[in-house]
Each structure stands twice: as C-alpha cells, then as structure tokens.
C-alpha cells in the first residue's frame, strides 16, 4: 500500500498542490490515494525523490518485498530489474 494520502496530509498539501509538485494529473493522484489505482514503480521512486523520503516510508509493503529479496544495499538496481521484468 502506498501512503500517498498520508504524505500529502502531513505536508499540508491539497491534491492540486501535490499534482503540480509531481507533475502528475490531480485525478491520478486522487485515485492513488483512494487505492483505486496503483502507481508504477518509476512513479513511486519519483515521488520519493521529490519529497526526499525513503521507499520504506512511502510504500512499506513494497519495501519489505524488495528487502526480503535482496541482501545488498544496491536497492535501485533491484527495483530497476523488477520494473524491467514487469514489462
């Protein structure tokens, strides 16, 4: 589960403000926050980079899945590999 709604509220941002900051349509962000759609991994990483937070905070389930699969610190390579496999 992605904690986008919690992030937005913690930062005191509206959906429109988050949309502008991330350059992602507001309706897409709303659907992600409601859980009716899921963002692609590249978008989750983008959100983490823009807000300066870790994947463990934004998407703890995904973090646990990835950490359970790797024993190294090179997380980005593992995430890139999983994204390529998903395509």
Q: Give the three-class secondary structure for 64.
A: helix
**Could you list the mean pLDDT of each consecutive 10-residue stretch along the chain, which spans 87 residues?**
85 94 95 88 91 87 72 64 76
Predicted local distance difference test score (pLDDT) of residue 35: 84
CATH topology of domain 4-86: 434 Repressor (Amino-terminal Domain) (1.10.260)
Q: Is the dihedral of CA 21, 27, 32, 33 positive or negative?
A: positive
pLDDT at res. 17 = 96
pLDDT (0 to 100) of residue 58:
87
* For the chain, domain boundaries: 4-86
Torsion of CA 40, 43, 44, 48, to 10 degrees: 170
Q: What's the confidence (pLDDT) of residue 67?
A: 72
């Amino acid at each position: 589960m992605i904690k986008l709604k919690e992030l937005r509220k913690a930062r005191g941002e509206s959906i429109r403000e988050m949309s502008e900051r991330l350059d992602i349509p507001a309706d897409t962000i709303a659907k992600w926050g409601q859980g009716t759609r899921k963002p692609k991994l590249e978008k989750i990483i983008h959100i983490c980079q823009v807000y300066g937070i870790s994947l463990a905070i934004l998407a703890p389930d995904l973090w646990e899945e990835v950490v359970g699969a790797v024993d190294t610190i090179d997380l980005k390579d593992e995430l890139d590999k999983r994204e390529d496999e998903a395509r």
